[in-house]
Amino acid sequence: MIDRAAISAARTQLASRPDFLRTTPLLRLSGRSLGVDCAEVWLKLEHLQVGGSFKARGMLYRLLANPVPESGVIIASGGNAGIAVAAAAKALGVRCEVFVPEVSPEAKRARLRSLGAEVVVTGAAYSQAFEACVARQKTTGALQAHAYDQPEVVAGAGTLAAEIEEQGGRLPDTVLVSVGGGGLIGGVAAWVESRAHVVALEPERAPTLHAARAAGMPVDVDVGGIAADSLGARRIGAIGWEVSQRHVHESLLLPDEAIRAAQQWLWKELKLAVEPAAALGLAALQTGAYKPQPQETVAMILCGANFDPASLA
């Protein structure tokens, strides 16, 4: 089980490597400045984290908490988790092999290679890259890191929510969280518990948690669309599912067009260059999919920035 004690333990161990992780800024804006009828909107600028996403927290914790064999670490990833593992492996001086699906952007592959990782491109979707990764791990004996469904990975993600509470002096009333495999929402919701409203956000074309809630259990879904490279898990992870049943209040779906418009808005109005997955929170507010109360404080996590910035032009 991932709970606040597990996340506090992760914070303690991660503090041993202050040379690696960053305390990312919390930008506090009036709701009106974003065209939203609420008191404040907090933007956690986690796209400025090492490796360009929140994944660095959980991946470093995975490596610190386990012995790493000579064959190093191995992972299947749409890009962000792989980049985080590669960055952590480089910092710790261990080998790294990353399996990415064909849908992964070349910008993410290039970043992986620049960090010294061996990149294997295979499979049309993340699930196929994962299967190939598992087969390879059985041959090499490398430490396997999972993009979203390991205790250290989820607890590491939860340190982000603890940081928001510390920086804000309190929790916001609501936290909007993008969902792929469930690592981020699992960590955030486990820290927040019932002390704030937690809302899960997914693209219409990648509804892993939404489909699980409808079915009453994790189920496979077809994935695609604008954010498939980072929110392209086919099934919600077991940890994220377990935590979400206890602490996630709503699950909302957003169309690609709204996600793209929010991504463009963040760049044009705030000069924040983030990937589509990071724009779901703003898309939910600007479309009215989530309607806050006038005195409400809403936080959203800009979770990553590993994409081709030329696409913002």
Blockwise average pLDDT, block size 10, the chain, 313 residues: 96 94 97 95 97 96 97 90 95 96 84 95 87 96 96 98 98 97 97 97 96 97 86 90 97 97 96 96 97 98 89 81
Say if residue 141 is in the same domain as residue 180.
no
Note the pTM of the prediction, 2 decimals: 0.95
Q: How far is 283 from 27, CA to CA, in rounded Å?
A: 17
The pLDDT, as a whole number, for residue 143 is 98
Partners of 241 in beta bridges: none
Cα distances from 146 to residues 65, 75, 82, 197, in angstroms, run: 14, 6, 9, 27
Say if residue 84 is in the same domain as residue 214.
no
The pLDDT, as a whole number, for residue 104 is 82
307 in Cβ contact with 271 (< 8 Å): no
Residue 313 inside a domain? The answer is: no
The pLDDT, as a whole number, for residue 295 is 97
**Parent domain of 86:** 55-145
Residue 177 inside a domain? The answer is: yes
User: Of 115, 145, 175, which one is at a domain's C-terminal end?
Assistant: 145
Say if residue 275 is in the same domain as residue 263.
yes
Per the structure, how many domains does the chain have?
Answer: 2
Cα distances from 258 to residues 100, 119, 165, 232, 238, in angstroms, run: 27, 32, 28, 18, 29
Say if residue 191 is in the same domain as residue 273.
yes
Q: What tokens were used for 131?
A: 């299967």
Say if residue 251 is in the same domain as residue 161.
yes
Which CATH number belongs to the domain containing residue 66 in this structure?
A: 3.40.50.1100
The pLDDT, as a whole number, for residue 115 is 95
The pLDDT, as a whole number, for residue 127 is 80
